[in-house]
Amino acid sequence: MRPIQISLAIAILVLQAIWIEHCAADTAEATTVQNDVRSMMEALYKGDVNALLAFTYPGLVTALGGEDAAKARLRAFLLQTNDLGVAVEAFSFPEAPTFLEGKMGRRFAVIPTRSIIVVKGQRIESESYLLGVKEPGSSRWTYVDGSRVTPDMLASLLPDFPSGYTLPLISRRQL
């Protein structure tokens, strides 16, 4: 082989190694965010407000009026779901999470979810997502419920979220 061919071959091998490392990191991150979402679901149906708040994106907590106001809203929501007799029959991740880089060094994860819930004897399939946020230098993810995200809310809370990305559609249907 000529020196140029050797250099090109080395460059290709280096790029492949970087790509493999990147894919492995995303696989580990996917496991992390999916485990977090499972923990959030468990906390939700146990009524553990403190655990739910610990997973909530801090900017959202601030937008809700601070920690005490956010806890009060979570308690009210949990009481309402309890009064309606909401139960989760099934929960899954229909697709792998998508990871995105923000302009300000934040990392985002879009985690699609599918659940079947029972409300007063009626089964409902819900397809939604959670939006994970990882601040620069942090090892911890925090989350926003995608079913409640509006374009204005997204622009206000996370102005560096990639503007060209189309978030998953939310759907609910009675089974």
Q: Which residues constitute the domain of residue 148?
A: 3-38+86-174
The span from the CA of 108 to the CA of 99, in Å, is: 6
Q: 74 in a domain, yes or no?
A: no
The mean pLDDT value for 164-173 works out to 92
Q: 67 in a domain, yes or no?
A: no
Most distant CA pair in the chain, distance? 75
Q: 123 in a domain, yes or no?
A: yes
Q: 81 in a domain, yes or no?
A: no
How many CB atoms are closer than 10 A to CB 108?
Answer: 21
Query: Does residue 107 contact residue 163 with C-beta atoms inside 8 Å?
Result: no
DSSP string, 8-56: HHHHHHHHHHHHHHHHHHHHHHHHHHHHHHHHHHHHHHHT-HHHHHHHB
The tens digit of pLDDT for each residue in 47-69 reads 899 999 999 999 999 999 999 99
Domains of the chain: total: 1
Q: 44 in a domain, yes or no?
A: no
The tens digit of pLDDT for each residue in 82-118 reads 888 888 889 999 999 999 999 889 999 999 999 998 9
Q: 109 in a domain, yes or no?
A: yes
Q: 62 in a domain, yes or no?
A: no
Identify the pLDDT of residue 12: 53
Q: 105 in a domain, yes or no?
A: yes
Identify the pLDDT of residue 151: 85
